[in-house]
A and B are shown apart, each in its own frame.
Chain A
Amino acid sequence: AQSVTQLGSHVSVSEGALVLLRCNYSSSVPPYLFWYVQYPNQGLQLLLKYTTGATLVKGINGFEAEFKKSETSFHLTKPSAHMSDAAEYFCAVSVSPGGYQKVTFGTGTKLQVIP
């Protein structure tokens, strides 16, 4: 079975500072990895995903993440935080039992951006 651990349920950064949200996964088979963002009272929006190929993945809104197999990590970064980045972020892992997508989510990290 796969699992996801997000370190830090709350992260605060100053506007313009580096954003780093940590995610470690566990999977018995090569996984697909995702980061989603959730704004208050809304559904989840896909930020980026890693399936195969290049381990540095670029997503929307200036976010990127690097898949490090040796560290079983998929940390999310953004060079300069913007006020509009304040939201909750979920890391997720997907494997394919029986040929369909089964996604396991982390518990989420709430990002606060301080002006």
Chain B
Amino acid sequence: NAGVMQNPRHLVRRRGQEARLRCSPMKGHSHVYWYRQLPEEGLKFMVYLQKENIIDESGMPKERFSAEFPKEGPSILRIQQVVRGDSAAYFCASSRLGTSYNEQFFGPGTRLTVL
């Protein structure tokens, strides 16, 4: 029973390029959450998605960042025109249901480095 999968594990981009981060939730999970962890900080909520719907994107920067969770395939976090401040670890989590008492299972993260 595979856990939450994220790829790539490490991603290096130059300023101005695009970064695409992928997350495959656990089998049977239809709720996906994205978090960002800046160096020496805790995880910050970015966005919550269900299949084909963005439920809460209150933590997403207003520009350059977007997320989707299509009917088929993984969830994608896209960062356009990356800047050095985007360097961070990006974690995806999934849950079976959206209510509080359902545990979120975390993936291993994608570590983005912007040169």
Contact = CB atoms under 8 A, between A and B. Distances in A.
Interface of A: 4, 9, 32, 36, 41-46, 49, 51, 90, 94-108
B42 A105 contact: yes
A46 B103 CA distance: 8
Interface in B61-104: 91, 93, 95, 98-104
Please classify how large the interface on chain B is, using the bins under 10, 10 to 19, 20 to 34, 35 or more: 20 to 34
Contacts, number: 66
Contacts of A99: 98-99
B108 A43 contact: yes
Interface string B5-44: 0000000000000000000000000010101000011111
A32 B101 CA distance: 8
Nearest to B108: A43
A101 B99 contact: yes
A6 B2 CA distance: 32
A32 B100 contact: yes
B4 A43 contact: yes
A46 B93 CA distance: 12
B54 interface: no
A52 to B, nearest CB: 8
B106 A106 contact: no
18 contacts: A42-B109, A43-B106, A43-B107, A45-B106, A51-B100, A51-B101, A96-B99, A97-B56, A101-B95, A101-B98, A101-B99, A102-B45, A102-B56, A103-B33, A103-B104, A105-B35, A105-B44, A108-B41
